[in-house]
Structure 1
Amino acid sequence: MTGKGCSSNSVLQARWVVEQLRVEASMKRIKISIAVAQLVQYCQEHSRSDPLLTGIATSANPFKDKKTCMLL
């Protein structure tokens, strides 16, 4: 009985893999150069609101230390 259980499981798994590959093959893809151009354009348009580029105001930074540490 265990042989049949394993074979039906592997058949179901193979069917799932085939279906997944069909879905991936039918996806519309764009060229890398177009994707890169769109990504650069998006980054340039949103650079003013990017905290990694502009920084965070000290009053709005929840992670700022409340006290400074001094070593003597």
Structure 2
Amino acid sequence: MMSAKVCSSSNVVQAQKIVDQLRMEAGVDRIKISLTAAELVQYCQDHKRGDPLLTGITASSNPFKEKKTCVLL
């Protein structure tokens, strides 16, 4: 009988901790996804000229371009 009371009490304490955590999470202020997405789109449009994925990298400034080698036959 005693172990059943201890288990029951332990379950109640654990359940109370979960409820407290969920209440805390429910109270967090969140940003609307549509607003965040609109800001992201605007940022991408504002910075697209400097984005090498969109504009490419000039051959003269590309550090990964293979160096030309001179081969004598």
Distance 1:66 1:34, change over 3 A: same
Which residue is 1:41 aligned to? 42
Alignment map for 1:9-28 (pairs within 5 Å): 22=24, 27-28=28-29
CA distance in 2, matches of 1:67, 1:55: 21
User: Which whole-Å CA distance do the structure 1 matches of 2:60 and 2:27 have between them?
Assistant: 50
Structure 1 gaps, min length 5: 1-17
Matching residue of 2:32: 31
Partners of 1:29 and 1:44 in 2: CA distance: 25
Sequence identity percentage: 67
Structure with the higher helix share, 1 or 2: 2
Larger of the two Rg values belongs to structure:
2
Runs of 4+ in 1 over 4 A off after TM superposition: 24-27
State the match for 2:55 in structure 1: 54
Structure 2 length-normalised TM: 0.55
Aligned-residue RMSD, C-alpha: 2.6
In structure 2, runs of 5+ residues without a counterpart are: 1-17
Q: Which residue of 2 aligns with 1:67?
A: 68
